[in-house]
Structure 1
Amino acid sequence: MESATPHNPLAVLLVETCKQTILPALRTRPGVWCEAISTFVDLPRTASRRDGYAAPSPEAAIRWMRATVRTVASVLGPHQAGQVLKHWVDGPGSARACDRLRRGESCSLTLYPGIEHLTLQARPVRFLPLAAADGGPPCDSGGRPPLLRGRRTVR
């Protein structure tokens, strides 16, 4: 690249244009990306994402993970189900995981329901705003989609 000198007017014009162009800062928001990944035992290349969730906070991420563990516990053996429910869902395991997320660290939990391993993992991220395809306001600015506004949802 050529340097900007009086002998190179194109480079001077380029430098002046760059000085005048100020890019707006991206408005990211903190959150936690959560996903459930299953892998067949003894076949590591079979990993596939079963579910994902963009949590707005570490607490929301842990709620998602706890709900998923409760759902999967029904297919675990009685010993493993008891251990994971006692330690991770109802005990200190989920609180420790939440603390890790608050410190900016990731957390994970692997369950072994049979021939597949299910790994739940969460990691802190910065989410970019969603852009509307038609040039309108960002998709995430209005909350619920127009068809669902005014309706109550049960959670």
Structure 2
Amino acid sequence: MSRPHRPGSGIRSAWWCEFSTRTPAFGDGDERVLLRAQSAETPTQVMVWIRLAVRVLLSGFDPRDTERAYHWLDHGQWEAVARLADGEPYAFTAAAGRTHVEWSARPVLFLPLAHTATGPLGRCAEPALCACTARGHRCGGHRR
């Protein structure tokens, strides 16, 4: 007797990466602004993404954070890869004047998205996000 074919669950593990800033507002507290978010398949991909971004912004960091970032680029990312591989979240932060920037990653499970009766899901189902919410802004072919 043959067993019926059962497709895999389609659930996959990955890491969700975010780049955000916080700048003290006038008056009450500060506001977090998400500038970019994307998924990564491996902890190494997470570190490649963070390392590239840190290197681009390095010259704008405060002197103490510039030194700390250089040290992290030379040694710290290996600890981060190990922590991510163990299922722990990770974040790297730095200051540029009054603005604090943060790159973070955390393990997630992605559920499969099904096609609708009218066809595949639209571009909004893709993992990358656009932080621009300006009226009429066109991002990758869809309107916000």
The TM-score with structure 1 as length reference comes to: 0.64
Equivalent position to 2:68, from 80, 83, 91: 83
Q: Deviations over 1:122-142 (max 9, x none)?
A: 001111223445644678xxx
Number of residues of Structure 1 aligned to a counterpart in Structure 2: 115
User: Is 1:57 aligned to 2:42, yes or no?
Assistant: yes
Q: Please tell me whether Structure 1 or Structure 2 has the larger radius of gyration of its CA atoms.
A: 1
Distance in 2 (alpha carbons) for counterparts of 1:138 and 1:25: 20
Query: Structure 2 unaligned runs (5+)?
Result: 1-6, 123-144
Give the secondary structure class of the aligned counterpart of 1:47. strand
Matched to 2:51, the amino acid is R
The answer for the alignment partner of 1:130 in structure 2 is 113
The equivalent of 1:105 in structure 2 is: 88
Is the CA contact 2:24–2:30 (under 8 Å) kept in the aligned structure 1? no
Q: CA RMSD in A?
A: 2.6
Q: Partners of 1:77 and 1:115 in 2: how far apart?
A: 10
How far 1:89 sits from its partner (Å)? 1.2
- 1:126 is aligned with what amino acid? L
Identity among equivalent positions (%) equals: 32
> 1:81: how far off?
1.6
Q: Give the gaps of 5 or more residues in structure 1.
A: 1-23, 140-155
- The amino acid across from 1:88 in the alignment is W
Larger relative contact order (CA 8 Å, sep ≥ 6): 2
Distance 1:48 1:77 in 2: 20
| Larger strand share, 1 or 2 | 2
The structure in which a higher percent of residues are helix is 1
Runs of 4+ in 1 over 3 A off after TM superposition: 41-45, 130-139
3-state SS of paired residue (2:50): helix
Which residue number corresponds to residue 57 of structure 2? 72
The structural deviation recorded for 1:88 is 1.2
Q: Please give the secondary structure, in 2, of the residue aligned with 1:38.
A: strand
